[in-house]
């Protein structure tokens, strides 16, 4: 990214309106969106198009201040929207229900689960808004896309922390040589769950491709993560076991 160009946009926007060069602003916008018709309109109509020009440049500046280009926003949308679509239409089986010991958990841990209902509602609303905006330009969808990405990550982080929480009376036996750090244990469990979740899709692809050698290696690695979770005393749903069984992992 050309940071000098970013600062040039910022300088123009920070310049008093009556001191701005409409031509310079229009040229910068053309470099950003390649919209020659809009560029000609701004040049022809002059200061009457200043509010529109300012609005468009501010949108692009917000994207660049987040360290992204328009190409990266397009790529970001291609990843986020399909993932969220699957999430809102077909909840992941391993996260389908609350823990059996939910009522025995600390209030702040219970709130991770309860708060995800609100997060899910926000994710679904943003997803529908973005679907309705599909004919708009990436720069116009960016703010909603950014909020959707943040909400979806917050949901998954809360869910991972909830699923990974191990009550003190379930910690593995401590010894002087191998003391157990609850925070480290929760991180290990969370990482194991993430590996299993991502590994299922990769394993299915390998099976579909007939690549049994790599599939066998991946199965072993997934089993290791399952054992990590089990040894920590954390729960794994029956649906997850059923999915793994279909992929040739019998535990």
Among candidate residues 136, 165, 194, the one where a domain is terminated = 165
Q: Mark whether 35 and 80 lie in a shared domain.
A: no
Rama region for 233: left / alpha / beta (φ>0; ψ in -120 to 50; rest)? left
124 with 91, same domain?
yes
Residue 114 in any domain: the answer is: yes
Q: What was the pLDDT predicted at 99?
A: 79
> Taking the complete model, does pTM exceed 0.95, yes or no?
no
- Are 138 and 79 contained in the same domain? yes
Domain residues for the domain of 205 are: 170-246
Q: What is the count of structural domains for the chain?
A: 3
Q: Is residue 141 part of a domain?
A: yes
pLDDT digit string, tens, across residues 59-77: 888 888 877 878 888 888 8
pLDDT at 168 over 50: yes
197 and 137, same structural domain?
A: no
pLDDT in tens, 133-149: 888 888 888 889 989 98
Distances, alpha carbon 84 to alpha carbons 87, 90, 186, in Å: 5, 10, 25
The residue out of 21, 38, 65 marking a domain boundary is 65
- pLDDT single digits (tens) 83-119: 888 777 765 544 456 778 888 888 888 888 888 888 8
Boundary (domain end) residue, out of 65, 93, 112: 65
Residue 251 in domain: no
Burial level of 233, CB count in 10 A (0-12/13-18/19+)?
A: middle
């Amino acid at each position: 990214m050309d940071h000098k160009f970013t600062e040039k946009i910022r300088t123009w926007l920070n310049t008093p309106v009556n001191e701005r060069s409409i031509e310079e602003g229009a040229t910068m916008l053309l470099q950003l969106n390649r919209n020659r018709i809009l560029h000609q309109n701004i040049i022809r109509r002059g200061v009457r198009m200043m509010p529109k020009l300012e609005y468009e440049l501010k949108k692009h500046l917000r994207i660049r201040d987040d360290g992204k280009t328009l190409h990266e926003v397009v790529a970001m949308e291609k990843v986020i929207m399909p993932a969220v679509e699957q999430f809102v239409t077909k909840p992941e089986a391993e996260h389908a229900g609350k823990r059996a010991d939910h009522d025995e958990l600390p209030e702040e841990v219970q709130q991770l689960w309860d708060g995800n209902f609100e997060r899910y509602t926000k994710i679904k609303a943003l997803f529908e808004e973005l679907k309705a905006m599909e004919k708009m330009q990436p720069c116009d969808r960016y703010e909603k896309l950014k909020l959707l990405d943040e909400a979806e990550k917050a949901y998954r982080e809360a869910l991972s922390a909830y699923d990974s929480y191990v009550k003190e009376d379930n910690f593995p036996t401590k010894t002087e040589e191998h003391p157990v750090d609850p925070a480290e244990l929760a991180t290990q469990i969370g990482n194991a769950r993430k590996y299993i979740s991502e590994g299922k899709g990769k394993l299915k692809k390998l099976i579909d491709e007939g690549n049994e050698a790599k599939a066998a290696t991946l199965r072993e690695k997934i089993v290791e993560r399952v054992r990590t979770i089990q040894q920590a005393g954390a729960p794994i749903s029956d649906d997850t076991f059923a999915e793994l069984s279909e992929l040739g992992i019998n535990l």
